Structure 1
Amino acid sequence: MSCSDCFSGHIHPDTPTGKSDTIHGVPTYIASPGEGVEPKGLVVIVSDAFGWDFVNTRLLADWYAAKGGFLVYLPDFMRGHALKPASMEATKKIKAPANWFTTIVYKPIWLVQSMITLLPWVLHTCAGVTTPIITTFLTAIRTSAPPFATDNLKIGVAGFCWGGRHAFLLSANDPKTHVVRYGSHPSAAKQPLIECAFTAHPSMLKLPSEVENAQLPISMCVGDVDMMLTREQILKIKDMLEVKNKKKGDHEVVIIPGAKHGFAVRMDPEDAFMVECSVKAEEQAIKWFTKWLA
């Protein structure tokens, strides 16, 4: 299940600088490291509930490209069913303290309105629907000819909130998804779709199985005030990945004291502490992708 923090937050005032295109049938926001700069690798972002056209996530793609030197794709894996940013305002009204009249009369109405919006999103974006979309996209960019061939680039995935679960699912490295990459010899061995994954404040994880199944390197950034994960669960995840996992050393969990769910994408730009937390997550991701992709 999701929590109210999955659907709340703030909208960044800046303007993204990338471009949009359709890649293998999927509308995609593209951020490049700069003219004449050879990308260190390709980062594919699996967004939070607000999807590929949410300004905050596009800005994050820009920052990964500019500061990390990566080519970044932000595809519409929800196929037009992402929540609208206006949902944040509705969530804010429901969560805000109010007088008894508003609490008894208006909040139930706002809650019903929010559920009417939320239920279709849940149906259209469940893992059973979106996992094939994501793996098909990654398969296509791994096996197809130009203009979107990535045979020379290693690929990492960054998943936030809703997308965080997909980061874990991809890190499980299902052999059925392995492919012979474009440009390889026909007899070459099949390889994983991605090299590594990063996630910040993942939601809807099935514990402990989806964490225990992680094989490919995965880095997780999470606050210790997260509505989706208790502190006990976070510590267990850290133990599973950093201590008990057979490939320990290939995984990391960074816990930021005081950080709340959603801080890496939907932080308040006027809140210095939350901005600091988001920068830490950004730097962690760039460092991780540089380690495994560059």
Structure 2
Amino acid sequence: MANEARPCPCEIGDQIEYGGLGQELQIEHIQAYVVKPATASDKAVIVIQDIFGWQLPNTRYMADMLAANGYIAVCPDFFVGKAPWSPSDDWSTFQAWLEDKKPTNINKEVDAVLRFLKEQCGAKHIGAVGFCWGGTATHYLALQFPEVRAGVSVYGIVKEREDSYELKFPTLFIFGEKDPIIPLDQVGVLESKLKEKCTVDHQVKIFPGQTHGFVHRKREDVNPSDKPSIQEARSDMLNWLSKYM
């Protein structure tokens, strides 16, 4: 699920056998996975899950990667205790499952996480990174939360809003050329409309030959031909955050 207007099923990909370096905490009304860098930092990144939930090892691996690069990383349960999508679920029920888990209905959770980062972690510079469902949510944050410094939306688009292109903070959008969920014509519309209407820095980057989920759901050792794209996209993510935070 990455397109708010026409959400489609997506494969879970390669699940990483990974335990995570952080800890699970309660942040107001939600649980979250939190990992801190080796040295104190006033920079933090909100890591937003895909449809498979905040406990997916792949997403926690990305959070730990951010922490290794000097950021406090927090991956909240944006489904607020509701069951994430499972690869064994019936795709014909996906729209009903999604009904109470809209990536554009997360203000209460974002507010709670921002308070936590500012008041308990001393964060002064906050960014956001999201994948799939979380990519759409990151695009939404860019329209609603100017206090966030930078965002990286990985295969996600908010479409059904008139202000979808009026970003409040610099945002990098990453897509795969062969993504069946977000076809290139939609990416083209996003790019042209951002050029026309967006006043903050932004970039839309398409990775040749890549499909949905390649940045966080493909293992480099299992997919050696994809390794350069996976590594480049992750470097782009880190460089974008470093530039604006």
TM-score by length of 2: 0.86
1:288 equivalenced with 2:240 (yes/no)? yes
Name the CA distance, whole Å, in 1 between partners of 2:55 and 2:129: 16
**Distance change in 2, residues 1:172/1:18 (3 Å):** same
Instruction: Report the residue type matching 1:200 in the other structure.
Output: V
**Distance change in 2, residues 1:222/1:82 (3 Å):** farther
For residue 157 of structure 1, give the secondary structure of its aligned residue in structure 2.
Answer: strand
Name the CA distance, whole Å, in 1 between partners of 2:161 and 2:115: 31
Partner deviation per Cα, 1:63-117 (whole Å, 9 max, x = no partner): 1111x21110000010122435xx33x48xxxxxxxxxxxxxxxxxxxxx4434x
- Counterpart of 2:3 in structure 1 is none
Q: Which of 36, 40, 61 is the aligned partner of 1:32?
A: 36
Instruction: Report the residue type matching 1:236 in the other structure.
Output: V
| Aligned sequence identity (%) | 23
Name the CA distance, whole Å, in 2 between partners of 1:83 and 1:283: 28
1:253 equivalenced with 2:228 (yes/no)? no
Q: Which of 8, 18, 21 is the aligned partner of 1:17?
A: 21
Name the CA distance, whole Å, in 2 between partners of 1:231 and 1:115: 25
TM-score by length of 1: 0.73
Aligned CA-pair RMSD: 2.4
Name the CA distance, whole Å, in 2 between partners of 1:168 and 1:292: 16
- Counterpart of 2:153 in structure 1 is 199
Query: Structure 1 residue 158: deviation in Å?
Result: 0.7
Partner deviation per Cα, 1:176-235 (whole Å, 9 max, x = no partner): xxxxxxxxxxxxxxxx331121111115x2167454222311111111111222212212
Query: Structure 1 residue 280: deviation in Å?
Result: 2.0
> Which one has the largest radius of gyration?
1
- Shift >4 Å, 4+ stretches: none
1:71 equivalenced with 2:22 (yes/no)? no
Q: Which of 207, 215, 221 is the aligned partner of 2:168?
A: 215
Name the CA distance, whole Å, in 2 between partners of 1:233 and 1:154: 31
The answer as to whether partners of 1:81 and 1:121 remain within 8 angstroms in 2 is: no
1:156 equivalenced with 2:127 (yes/no)? yes
The unaligned stretches of length 5 or more in structure 2 are 1-5
Aligned length: 239
For residue 192 of structure 2, give the secondary structure of its aligned residue in structure 1.
Answer: helix
Q: Which of 92, 109, 114 is the aligned partner of 1:115?
A: 92
**Distance change in 2, residues 1:210/1:165 (3 Å):** farther
For residue 273 of structure 1, give the secondary structure of its aligned residue in structure 2.
Answer: helix
